[in-house]
Structure 1
Amino acid sequence: MASIKVFNSLRPGAQVPFVPKEEGKVSWYACGPTTYDLSHLGHARNYVSTDIIRRILMHYYGFKVNFVMNYTDVDDKIIIKARRKRLLELEKEKPKRADEVRDIVFKAFTAYAESNLPLIAEDLDENNYQGRKEAAYGAVLAGGTLSGEGKPGDNEAKLKMHLNNMDSAAKSLQQGSGFDGAEDVLLPYLDSLYKETIDTSDQTIFTDLTKAMEKSFNDDMKALNVLEPDVVTRVTEYVPQIVSFVERIIEKGFAYEAENSVYFDIAAFEEAGNTYARLRPESKTDRTLQEEGEGSLSKSVEGKRGPGDFALWKKSRPGEPYWPSPWGNGRPGWHIECSVMASDKLGDQMDIHSGGIDLAFPHHDNELAQSEAYFHQCGKGEHTWVKYFLHMGHLSISGSKMSKSLKNFQTIQDALATTYTARNMRIVFLMGRWNDGVEISPDMRKQADSWETTVDNFFTNVKARLSEAGDAVQGVKNLSLADGHAKGLLDKLEQAKTDLEAALNNSFDTPTAMQIIVALVRDANVYMNDRTVEPSLFAVEKVARWVTKVVGIFGLDASATPPYDGLGWAAAGAAANVDPQTAVKPYAAVYAAVKKEVEDLGLTEPSIQTLVTQQNPDAEFTDLEKAGEKDVEKLALPYLRATSRLRDELRSTVSTSSATLAPKTKQAILSLSDRIRDYDLTDLGVQLDDRTDGPSLIKFVPAARLIAAREEKAALLAEKARQKEEARKAKEKADQEKWEKAKVPPHEYFKSDKKYAEFDGDGVPTRLADGSEVPKSQVKKLRKEWERQKKVHEEWVAKFGGSS
């Protein structure tokens, strides 16, 4: 059995052995998203890291994992956003004059300042806003803190968010843009005026938002190659069960009704021998966190017995969705949702519960308390609802956590469109411990890029060598043919396997795992490039297939499936299940075009004539197709090899028959050779490595990367040419200026200078313009300058003719 140890938030400090309640099986509940806005990189950190651990348990250790995840589709944030969106739509539909619209925006602008920026609120308008902002908050905007000490964090990020909202509103007021640009200050203002007027019996204003955001989240997870949950639950589908769950907690004496809401009784829970705030005992009296856990719509509550008691059922106010219950119309508390859904799907105990570290208190602590209260049996001690709590570390930016509420986030959609690939992002997360914080930095990106490039180049080179040598699939089967020289590499492979298991046993230590992989790849590269012996491709292939398996387990190849027995990872965006005939068309077209151009050259060399007339890549392709081959690279190889052989023979002809070739023919061959390599094949994602001791090596590399390298090379050459031309022009100008100056005879050289009034017979100044004599020291310098002019003038006469 696997000897896994994990960091368990229920047992802080040292790692503890991971022993699921049922051998070979893992039950797992993950807190899903609150579906009110687009997902950001913080969500990617949470769900990709969760996915990595899940994949390791399933595909490395072989556990059968039952993975349940919820969608929170009723919540204060959802209610507020959906309601405000609807209120803005209604406000825009009302007929208004421009000055009436401006008045509403101005009132919203000042109300927002009073609520969030009190230092600048008094007598504020859009014209004095910028000056006041700089005076009051300039230090924070320059990177400082509100207190003047320490590093900026969430409070500073929140302040900047408020100022950004005010910036947009002030600009809107100055430009007379109406509601455009002022939405962030306008929405809370409209909500304060009209929230109770919204008819919430029609819950579509809320469900339309949550359904759209749920779809967006699912699309993001698919793009990030995150496995789908085995079971999905939604709060709105569980309201009757939530009511029953709350009723049972009341019956057991651990909850009470107050003003049509129901609260969990922490004191009663602890008096019965239970522990509250097991995850974060130091936070149990933190009023700020308690209030955040209750939600912004529940700040003023009536009838609570203890300050930390939290809502299991909330009385719905006007403007909020509601469901019937024994305590009146209301809605579920935030924490009770997960307790009910997880218990319904996984019973009275689960192996793993996971979520972001920010959920530890109060959300997960309250979940634990109410669930253990529900399953509590007198006289049997504390109930264990969760065996292992796994909390994913924050993703932070500039010292503060990435958060929708702070608006300091980059959406997953935007990140994938502009900054990352899914593989690249996953590598970033793999290079950090799942339970540690990750700070976005250029260095972090560089390390991830370097790791990916090293492994990618290794796969490319191994596949190229194996394709050149023959059928790669037979490599491992014929490993016995490997000579003793390969033993050192194979020993390193076995050590890497041992080290990887130790790393994964160490609470899924993926940073160490990533180091093990790249170290083995570098060892294989050194072995493969050793020119003193003929390396065993069988040994290299075995290494490559093991690395392929591990990166597959880590989810770094979206096209791969267990047991990950392939070789290398697929290029990003590679098509799957392509029709073979369609797949090879571009490669066949390049070969046909090159063959035609070679024929048109009219070369008579027998070696070239043989290739032109006897190569039959169509037949080779047909054999592969009949054999059921689906790998596009293997299907394309017959055409690529035929093209490469023609090109190699053309290059050889230029080398061996240079003296007999007409200059025009030689130039045509060289141009065709370069174009095949740099354009025809590059545009197909094929790189040819020219070699002096054998045929060119065919490598499959993403076309975008090859094209970018080609364009970068062209740009460098263009820049060199530009600099050379500029230098030529500068020299030409300098020469022109030099000879223009040299044209002047020495006796005329100083006479145009108004500083001097008299000159000697050679034209050297003797008196200044004021009638005084030129100082002797200066006369010496002038004489030297006259001699220099005499010399260059003589050079001019000799070069261009003429006389002084």
Structure 2
Amino acid sequence: MESIKLHNSLKPGAAVPFTPIEPGKIKWYACGPTVYDQSHLGHARNYVSTDIIRRILQHYFGFKVNFVMNITDIDDKIIIKARRQRLLDLEKKKGHSQEQVAELANAAFHAYAKSNLPLLIDPEGPQLDIQNYIPRRDAAYGKVLAGGTLSGEGKPGDDEAKLKMHISNMTQAVIAISKNSVFGMADEILLPYLDSLYKETIDTSDQTMFTDLTQYMEREFTDDMDRLNVMRPDVVTRVTEYVPQIVSFVERLVQKGFAYDAEGSVYFDIAAFEKAGNPYARLRPDSRNDKVLQEDGEGSLSKNLGGKKSPGDFALWKSSKAGEPYWPSPWGNGRPGWHIECSVMASDVLGSQMDIHSGGIDLAFPHHDNELAQSEAYYCQGGHEHHWVNSFLHMGHLSISGSKMSKSLKNFQTIKDALASTYTARNMRIVFLMGRWNDGVEISPDMRAAADSWESTVNNFFINTKSLIYEASGSASAIDGQVKDLTLSDKPAEGLSTDLEQAKKDTEAALTNSFDTPQVMRIILELVRKANIHIGEHKSDLDLKSVEAIARWVTKIVGILGLDANARPPYDGLGWVSAEAAANLEPSVAVAPYKAVYEAVTKDVKALDLPGAEAVSQLLSQSPDSEFDTLAKSGNRDPEQLALPYLRGVSKLRDELRRIAPTASAETKKSILALSDRIRDFDLTNLGVYLDDRPDNQPSLIKFIPTAELVAAREEKVAQAAEKARAKEEARLARERADAEKWEKAKVKPEEMYKSGEAADKYSEWDAEGMPTKMKDGSEIPKSQTKKLKKDWDRQKKAYGEWLTKFGGGAA
């Protein structure tokens, strides 16, 4: 096996060799979520991609991975959200009159605009209100709302996304105020305003306002990860459980001269760190003086903390102001800085060095660079550099309309909503697998279509392969043994076997090349394509053993990549594992629904009373129970395999009924076909089984397909039939209306056609046949018009004759 190479942010450029500190083992720390809101697709991108790499290292390369992840359960975002929600709850209980609520909303409205949308404020004109908001909004920010930039140049990014968020909040507030429905509809503008008024009045000695929020959101995050088939960490750490250790860690940094206290806070001294011979900002040296990133790393509540020696120095311990939670420390009541938490928790579990540290690319600076600095300062001896992390892995972020998806921009779709509407967990993971883990990705319609196609192709291959095996061998496998390992064979191979061996080699090369999953996905698709071509071209000499070997190898790889939530290592099955199989049901329980269908079908076939149908009688005399008992006693727990005896019994009966139907009496034929359709479209569909009818009296193929898919297809078929019937009925009614109009017009005598209706107002004289001779004003009829009138008269005469013939009456 080739050595693994990976993209290490500490060594930018080409992938570099990966060598664990201890052979066969990997110590890995991953930055987890800050739990203050629902997780979104950007989080899914990070944690699913991390999970994919972890699975490859564990289940493909065989490493023992100790995976540690933190939960940030106290920071500025959490403090602000919890405190503001508490203030809003208190405000609602004050019993305001409608006038007072309106006054509060208008004040919040103006304050929000001044803070976030300053172009709406006209110092020399009328004050902003809900009446003039829309025209001012469109005049000031119309370019942004139309998809452009505020400057009119370049492409929109985070700044424009933030403006759109603020505009949306203001627009929602206008609607709320106009409807006298402020609380609930205008919370986004009320929350910051109430916080500005009353934040210092909150008693933060009671920390339940924070823990209630974080504990709930942590549960929500864990549920989301479970739904996405992300393996749970081996160890989860939480900041609030580590405050004493954080204080001790900071104390040591102060003692070593790498940190200093000022006004109740403690800062890391970058200059002292570098003077001792240690480099700072190793991950993002170009960002070390980026004030925006520095301020973002310190947090929005820490902008006014004083006493820094240098603007780049970052807080290890923050003095808590009124309205903020606090813990005791040698420097006074305060709370941990953002960066220090990971250094302390990771070191506590993994020690002074780790193999891998991971997180989203947006954490590289300042968060991870600051982690590195403070940790290496903590562990260094004699001022010399200490290597705390061997490999930093940064997951590319997910963007939407050119802007990073984030909670703060509110331009996200939650994982919960995505799984309820547009994605399955497998489909989402396929999308991420089709991009490199360290590249940014913007999900496009083409990418979604490619992912859907990939899943459908692999899914159909699994279904068809199992059906062919069941038909050919009557068992679960056509080969001796199963594909239990990923070892490359030294034996010469031909045909599909050659293709499989090459796919194994190419996959290993891709995975050792910094976990190149897009290449693996292409390898799988190409191998399945070759197998499908073989199946299509070799009806009579199918190499079923090679087809099955390919299907089992693909099953193993997709299992390793986490695409089957019900599968478990070592992924030795064939195809996706059903929920029933994963539950390992007792055989009689697993097979009960299939046995019930078999018994109902045999009863209905007997009721048909088909004298002389010896083949049917013979099938009815054969019970599947003995075959099922043999499978169950052998220890088989696969519900599909256990169900096969009963499904084959049903399928054979139905095939024989369809064979004799053409020669049966009209009434019997009708009954046979109705029963046949019911078995296929209802009895078996409701069990997730599809009978694929084939021509030339070939037996039907038994295919296991998710019930939801089959039911959806059945309902679509019914809907299409209903639409066809509706269109047919509408066409019939239209024909009837046209026919009625035709005969209504035809029953008029030609002699009367120009003397009635609108025509009577055009003319003043007529000849004996009713042809007009003079216009209304007494002038002669123009010759050109006379010719047309005669033509229409002759046509009416013919139509009138047809009416007389059809209805046998006289003129109306």
Counterparts of 1:760 and 1:508, CA distance in 2: 97
Residue number in structure 2 paired with 1:247: 251
Residue number in structure 2 paired with 1:30: 30
Aligned residues of 2:627 and 2:645 also touching (Cα < 8 A): yes
Counterparts of 2:148 and 2:452, CA distance in 1: 32
Which residue of the other structure, out of 173, 191, 210, is the alignment partner of 2:177? 173
Aligned residues of 1:82 and 1:205 also touching (Cα < 8 A): yes
Aligned residues of 2:659 and 2:697 also touching (Cα < 8 A): no
User: 1:412-443 CA deviation, whole Å, 9 max, x = no partner?
Assistant: 11211222111111111111111111212222
Q: What percentage of residue pairs aligned between the two structures are identical?
A: 68
How far off its partner does 1:724 sit?
1.8
Residue number in structure 1 paired with 2:289: 285
User: 1:654-704 CA deviation, whole Å, 9 max, x = no partner?
Assistant: 13xx1xx32111101111111111111111110001123421111110011
Aligned residues of 2:165 and 2:410 also touching (Cα < 8 A): yes
How far off its partner does 1:94 sit?
2.4
Aligned residues of 2:376 and 2:386 also touching (Cα < 8 A): yes
Aligned ranges 1:191-210 → 2 under 5 Å: 191-210=195-214
Aligned residues of 1:607 and 1:649 also touching (Cα < 8 A): no
User: 1:66-103 CA deviation, whole Å, 9 max, x = no partner?
Assistant: 11111111100111111111112222222332322332
Aligned ranges 1:582-597 → 2 under 5 Å: 582-597=589-604
Aligned ranges 1:141-160 → 2 under 5 Å: 141-160=145-164
Which residue of the other structure, out of 129, 138, 145, is the alignment partner of 2:142? 138
Distance change (3 Å), C-alpha of 1:478 and 1:316: closer
Counterparts of 2:478 and 2:609, CA distance in 1: 41
1:409 lines up with 2:412 in the alignment: yes
Aligned residues of 2:400 and 2:443 also touching (Cα < 8 A): yes
Distance change (3 Å), C-alpha of 1:98 and 1:665: same
1:520 lines up with 2:527 in the alignment: yes
Aligned residues of 2:616 and 2:657 also touching (Cα < 8 A): no
Aligned residues of 2:567 and 2:582 also touching (Cα < 8 A): no
What secondary structure, in the 3-state scheme, does the structure 1 residue paired with 2:679 have? helix
Counterparts of 1:192 and 1:259, CA distance in 2: 23
Residue number in structure 1 paired with 2:356: 352
| Residue type at the aligned position of 1:389 | F
Alignment TM-score, normalising by the size of structure 2: 0.95
Which residue of the other structure, out of 207, 215, 227, is the alignment partner of 2:219? 215
| Residue type at the aligned position of 1:561 | R
Aligned residues of 1:423 and 1:557 also touching (Cα < 8 A): yes
Residue number in structure 1 paired with 2:88: 88
| Residue type at the aligned position of 1:278 | R
Which residue of the other structure, out of 624, 639, 642, is the alignment partner of 1:635? 642
Which residue of the other structure, out of 341, 361, 370, is the alignment partner of 1:366? 370
Aligned ranges 1:752-763 → 2 under 5 Å: 752=756, 753=759, 754-763=761-770
1:464 lines up with 2:467 in the alignment: yes
Residue number in structure 2 paired with 1:496: 503
CA RMSD of aligned residues (A): 2.0
Name whichever of 269-278 and 317-326 sits farther off: 269-278
Residue number in structure 2 paired with 1:598: 605
User: 1:252-297 CA deviation, whole Å, 9 max, x = no partner?
Assistant: 2222111111111222222222222111122111111111010000
Counterparts of 2:403 and 2:325, CA distance in 1: 33
What secondary structure, in the 3-state scheme, does the structure 2 residue paired with 1:390 have? strand
Distance change (3 Å), C-alpha of 1:85 and 1:532: closer
Aligned ranges 1:561-710 → 2 under 5 Å: 561-571=568-578, 576-611=583-618, 613-655=620-662, 658=663, 661-691=664-694, 692-710=696-714
Aligned residues of 2:158 and 2:403 also touching (Cα < 8 A): yes
1:262 lines up with 2:266 in the alignment: yes
How far off its partner does 1:502 sit?
1.3
Counterparts of 1:485 and 1:251, CA distance in 2: 67
Residue number in structure 1 paired with 2:102: 102
| Residue type at the aligned position of 1:127 | Q
What secondary structure, in the 3-state scheme, does the structure 1 residue paired with 2:311 have? coil
Aligned residues of 1:98 and 1:178 also touching (Cα < 8 A): no
What secondary structure, in the 3-state scheme, does the structure 2 residue paired with 1:180 have? helix
How far off its partner does 1:486 sit?
9.0
How far off its partner does 1:379 sit?
6.2
How far off its partner does 1:128 sit?
2.5
How far off its partner does 1:474 sit?
5.5
Which residue of the other structure, out of 558, 562, 578, is the alignment partner of 1:555? 562
Residue number in structure 2 paired with 1:330: 334
Name whichever of 181-190 and 468-477 sits farther off: 468-477
Counterparts of 1:167 and 1:192, CA distance in 2: 21
Counterparts of 2:676 and 2:159, CA distance in 1: 62
Name whichever of 785-794 and 585-594 sits farther off: 785-794
1:12 lines up with 2:12 in the alignment: yes
Residue number in structure 2 paired with 1:375: 379
1:449 lines up with 2:459 in the alignment: no
Which residue of the other structure, out of 692, 717, 722, is the alignment partner of 2:721? 717
User: 1:427-471 CA deviation, whole Å, 9 max, x = no partner?
Assistant: 111111111112122222211111111111111111111122222
Aligned residues of 2:10 and 2:391 also touching (Cα < 8 A): yes
Residue number in structure 1 paired with 2:481: 477
Residue number in structure 1 paired with 2:45: 45
Counterparts of 1:756 and 1:730, CA distance in 2: 34
User: 1:597-638 CA deviation, whole Å, 9 max, x = no partner?
Assistant: 111111113434534541212232233222222111112112
How far off its partner does 1:361 sit?
1.0
User: 1:686-736 CA deviation, whole Å, 9 max, x = no partner?
Assistant: 000112342111111001101111111121222222222222222222222
What secondary structure, in the 3-state scheme, does the structure 1 residue paired with 2:332 have? coil
How far off its partner does 1:509 sit?
0.9
How far off its partner does 1:298 sit?
0.6
| Residue type at the aligned position of 1:651 | R
What secondary structure, in the 3-state scheme, does the structure 2 residue paired with 1:352 have? strand
How far off its partner does 1:571 sit?
4.2
| Residue type at the aligned position of 1:71 | I
In structure 1, stretches of 5+ residues that fail to align are none
What secondary structure, in the 3-state scheme, does the structure 1 residue paired with 2:770 have? coil
Residue number in structure 2 paired with 1:542: 549
How far off its partner does 1:49 sit?
0.3
Name whichever of 434-443 and 675-684 sits farther off: 434-443
Aligned residues of 2:361 and 2:397 also touching (Cα < 8 A): yes
Residue number in structure 2 paired with 1:510: 517
What secondary structure, in the 3-state scheme, does the structure 2 residue paired with 1:767 have? strand
Residue number in structure 1 paired with 2:305: 301
Counterparts of 2:132 and 2:617, CA distance in 1: 84
User: 1:537-579 CA deviation, whole Å, 9 max, x = no partner?
Assistant: 2111100110000000000111111111111112478761223
What secondary structure, in the 3-state scheme, does the structure 1 residue paired with 2:23 have? coil
Residue number in structure 1 paired with 2:787: 780
Which residue of the other structure, out of 222, 225, 231, is the alignment partner of 1:227? 231
Counterparts of 2:478 and 2:719, CA distance in 1: 43
Alignment TM-score, normalising by the size of structure 1: 0.96
What secondary structure, in the 3-state scheme, does the structure 1 residue paired with 2:703 have? strand
In structure 2, stretches of 5+ residues that fail to align are 484-490
Counterparts of 1:475 and 1:594, CA distance in 2: 33
